[in-house]
A and B are shown apart, each in its own frame.
Chain A
Amino acid sequence: MKNRLKVLRAERDWSQQELAARLEVSRQSVNAIETGRYDPSLPLAFRIADIFELAIEEIFLREE
Chain B
Amino acid sequence: MAVCWTPAAKRYTRRLAVLMAIYLVTLFTAVWLFRHDQVSAPLAWPLAIAPAIPVIGVFWAVMRFIVEEKDEFIRLLIVRQCLVATGFCLTIMTVWEFLQNFELVPPGNGGFGAAFFWFMGLGVGAIYNKLTMGTAGTWS
Contact = CB atoms under 8 A, between A and B. Distances in A.
Interface of A: 17, 24-29, 31-33, 35, 37-38, 40-41, 44
B13 interface: no
B73 interface: yes
Contacts, number: 41
A25 B77 CA distance: 14
Contact of B134 (A17, A24, A32): A32
B30 to A, nearest CB: 40
16 contacts: A17-B2, A26-B4, A26-B6, A26-B73, A26-B74, A26-B138, A27-B4, A28-B140, A29-B73, A29-B74, A32-B73, A32-B134, A35-B134, A37-B132, A40-B72, A44-B72
Instruction: Tell me if B's interface is mostly helix, strand, loop or mixed.
Output: loop
B76 interface: yes
Nearest to B139: A28
Nearest to A17: B2
B54 to A, nearest CB: 29
Interface of B: 2, 4, 6, 70-74, 76, 132-135, 138, 140
A25 B133 contact: no
B71 to A, nearest CB: 5
A49 B1 CA distance: 27
Contacts of A35: 134
Contact of A37 (B4, B74, B133): B133
Given A25-B73, A26-B73, A32 B138 contact: no
A61 B71 CA distance: 23
Given A35-B134, A37-B133, A37-B134, A29 B4 contact: no
